[in-house]
Amino acid sequence: MAKTFLPYAYLRWAFLSFQDANISIATHALHYGTAAFWGIRVTVTDEWNALFFRLDDHAKRLSRSAHYLGYEIAPEFIRSRLIEFVEMNKPTTSIYIRPLVYTSDLDISPRLHEIEKDFLIYGIELGDYLSADGVSATISSWVRQSDASFPLRAKISGGYITSALAKSEAVERWFDEALMMNSAGKLSEWSGMNVFLVRDGTIITPGVTEDILEGITRSSVISIARHLGYEVIERSVDKSELFIADEVFLTGTAARITPVKKIEQYILPADRPVFSALKSYMNTIFSREATPFSYWIEEVKF
């Protein structure tokens, strides 16, 4: 699929053209997955202002992810570089920014100590990641990794092998997306999104100890739902609950909030009052109407 990359990237402590932002084939992280990334969407308004969603939280989470790799990089530093990135690139359409911290040494021993690290940023133009109408889902034969093996609260690059296996398996079975169970047999999340169910008007989502990534969109949706008066329960979810749910939806930065139409052979109801209320409230926040969550949007003028 053709991608439009933004003209400037950041690598080895400097901005340079995307074409010149290259690394060696011997780069340690390429071989061991010893990197951590995050994804941030920026929307562009008619007045050519860029709107970041929860920029501070994204910067904080990337800083924490770097910490797991033994790399201290301050959230303020990340935040400033992300703003400069947008100012330099002057996007004209919705974009997705990908910052990455990685072991940049050309060394062959898998380790995190005494090894050079770097921080890079690049961006692509990105519209809908999944169909806004809804997706079909299979339950993957691949089990979500356990936090006992590596820190699942970070987006550690090496961990995405499981997401890739699950996503490709789903597509090969003619589904759009894959739901993964955790090693205890409870629902965890999708290949790159968090999962929510609605049962009898109550919103349910796997808790943060169910081997999920603590998604920023997940926490935003929980806050909005509670603000709208819904009960939200974070708990273990059984597979069988998926087949009798009134609604199932997914959340993520790239995918935003997307409904699920079908799980395996079970067709979910087409009427989705809770999903619709949440989606429309998210749109209200992005349209910059005053809400208690207006502070989540940060505007950069260029």
Min CB(85)–ligand PMP separation in Å? 18
Q: Which of 120, 181, 187, 216 binds ligand PMP (CB under 6 A)?
A: 216
Residues of this chain, 130-169, that bind ligand PMP according to CB under 6 A: 155, 163
Q: Which of 118, 177, 189, 211 binds ligand PMP (CB under 6 A)?
A: 189
Q: Which of 194, 204, 211, 249 binds ligand PMP (CB under 6 A)?
A: 194
Q: Find, among 216, 195, 193, 181, the residue nearest to 65 by Cα.
A: 216
**Given its phi and psi angles, is residue 292 left (phi above 0), alpha (psi -120 to 50 degrees) or beta?**
alpha
Min CB(12)–ligand PMP separation in Å? 26
Stretch that binds ligand PMP, among 24-32, 130-138, 245-253, 266-274 (CB under 6 A): 245-253
Stretch that binds ligand PMP, among 89-97, 165-173, 208-216, 287-295 (CB under 6 A): 208-216
Min CB(236)–ligand PMP separation in Å? 17
The footprint of ligand PMP on this chain (CB under 6 A) covers a number of residues equal to 16
Q: What is the number of alpha carbons within 13 Å of residue 83 lying toward its C-beta?
A: 14
Min CB(51)–ligand PMP separation in Å? 16
Residues of this chain, 36-55, that bind ligand PMP according to CB under 6 A: 39
Residue 176 touches ligand PMP, criterion: CB under 6 A: no
Min CB(195)–ligand PMP separation in Å? 9
By beta-carbon proximity to ligand PMP, the closer residue of 6 and 154 is: 154
Residue nearest to ligand PMP (CB): 215
Q: Are 259 and 249 in contact, with CB atoms under 8 Å apart?
A: yes
By beta-carbon proximity to ligand PMP, the closer residue of 65 and 251 is: 251
Residue 253 touches ligand PMP, criterion: CB under 6 A: yes
Residue 257 touches ligand PMP, criterion: CB under 6 A: no
Min CB(97)–ligand PMP separation in Å? 12
Residue 99 touches ligand PMP, criterion: CB under 6 A: no
Q: Which of 89, 136, 217, 258 binds ligand PMP (CB under 6 A)?
A: 217
**Given its phi and psi angles, is residue 75 left (phi above 0), alpha (psi -120 to 50 degrees) or beta?**
alpha
Residues that bind ligand PMP (CB under 6 A): 39, 155, 163, 189, 192-194, 213, 215-218, 251-254
